[in-house]
Structure 1
Amino acid sequence: MTTAGPLVPDQEQWQPWTPDELARRLSAVNRPWCVVGGWALDLWHGRQTRAHSDLEFTVLRADFACFRQALSDLDFYAVKDGTFQFLSAICLPAADIFQVWGYDRAAQAWRVDVMIEPGTPDTWVYKRDLSITCPRAEMVLRSTAGIPHLRPAAVLLFKAKHTRSKDRSDFARALPDLSAQERVWLLRHLTRLHPEHEWLSCV
């Protein structure tokens, strides 16, 4: 592991914010963002269904500085292939960086995992296959509290690539409540990207 700047904190020291706390801190940012991962499914369910070890949310690359300013009490580290590199206040993530962790030095804990996504304010693009696009307004839903989160079918498509025990549990919990539209979207893209996936027989 290589580092630059402060010593990289222990990667296990997570005390993630809740989506509500993140939304409060980002309330003045008028740029696209949304919660993804397991928390996005729980926002869709309308309740927390399990413990979450982190909090992931996406931003457009051109907007990273806006979000960094809103979360200026955090130190940021670019993450790639298990390597962490400190991002000084004047540095932006390199073009090959798609993940940035935010560390709260006062609390000695990681708070957020910022995922840098392609696309535009109007168009959502699946970062693992840039040919998969949709209007952002269709892909990002709002919780009852107004927190933006990725729609469940897209969250499950991300989870399908490296399916862990918690991903299987998330899928089983979400499946009964998926609308016909969500099922069709997920089935189409699973068939295309993961034609042997175990979930195909269930959707």
Structure 2
Amino acid sequence: MSEQLPSGGVELSPDEIEALQGRWASCWTPSEVARRLAGIGSPWYVAAGWALDLFLGRQTRSHGDIEIAIPAASFPEIRHRFPGHVFDAAGSGRIWEDATPEVLAAVHQTWLRDPATGDYLLDVFREPHDRDTWICRRDEGIRLPYSDIVHRTQDGIPYLAPELVLLFKAKHTRRKDRRDFDVTVPHMTRAQRETLAGLLVRVHPGHPWLADL
């Protein structure tokens, strides 16, 4: 995806960004998302904080939204699953309502909106890929088969491998990210911890989490 943002969109102030949190109050659960996406041909998976809870088998904290990720080329298939809804693009403190293809090519984050209520229901990450190979948007040299990075709960909900979820969380290390790290790492296998450590050395050298791995 291009790093140059397209024109248009609405730039949000910090207060407006905070106020958006209230528009996610009706967001779906992983089970609801899985029900709505049942049978699609594209790989998809729950990402971010919810993915860690699916890995752990229990909800460890409240979640302000729900994120899933898909190969970018599969977005039309996802979009067709939600007639009557609108996809807004978001990035760098801006929102592009009912985003055009030009905007979608430039940002990776897409929010599904119910136009009747204005509520946001689902955050869709459109990820770089090469057919069946996932490409890390933080380092395009990190390439893994989707079959290796997508895990499933006992009832079949797909989620991103915890070592990759924590790699993405390592960029900002907000309080919730550190908590997610502390809660999740003790349940990871030695191989998963070693993978996370190697990825952190590559993407975030000197990261404080390395001392705990």
TM over 0.5: yes
Amino acid at match of 1:58: A
Structure 2 match to 1:126: 136
Structure 1 match to 2:34: 23
Structure 1 match to 2:20: 11
Pair 1:108 & 2:118 matched: yes
Superposed displacement of residue 48, structure 1: 0.9
Pair 1:197 & 2:207 matched: yes
Superposed displacement of residue 66, structure 1: 0.7
How far apart, in 1, do the equivalents of 2:104 and 2:54 lie? 31
How far apart, in 1, do the equivalents of 2:40 and 2:184 lie? 30
Which string of whole-angstrom CA distances, capped at 9 and with x for unpartnered residues, describes residues 64-93 of structure 1?
A: 1110111223211111211111226xx435
SS in 1 for 2:206: coil
TM-score normalised by the chain length of structure 1 = 0.91
Structure-to-structure mapping, 1:1-203, within 5 angstroms: 2-3=8-9, 11-12=20-21, 13-14=23-24, 15-87=26-98, 91-92=100-101, 93-203=103-213
Superposed displacement of residue 107, structure 1: 4.0
Superposed displacement of residue 2, structure 1: 4.6
SS in 1 for 2:116: coil
How far apart, in 1, do the equivalents of 2:75 and 2:205 lie? 34
Identity %: 40
Superposed displacement of residue 177, structure 1: 0.6
How far apart, in 2, do the equivalents of 1:170 and 1:150 lie? 14
How far apart, in 2, do the equivalents of 1:181 and 1:122 lie? 23
Superposed CA RMSD: 2.0
Q: How many residues align?
A: 198
Over 4 Å off, 4+ runs: none
Mapped contact 1:46–1:144 kept (Cα < 8 A): no
How far apart, in 2, do the equivalents of 1:73 and 1:173 lie? 39
TM-score normalised by the chain length of structure 2 = 0.87
How far apart, in 2, do the equivalents of 1:42 and 1:65 lie? 28
Unaligned runs of 5+ in 1: none
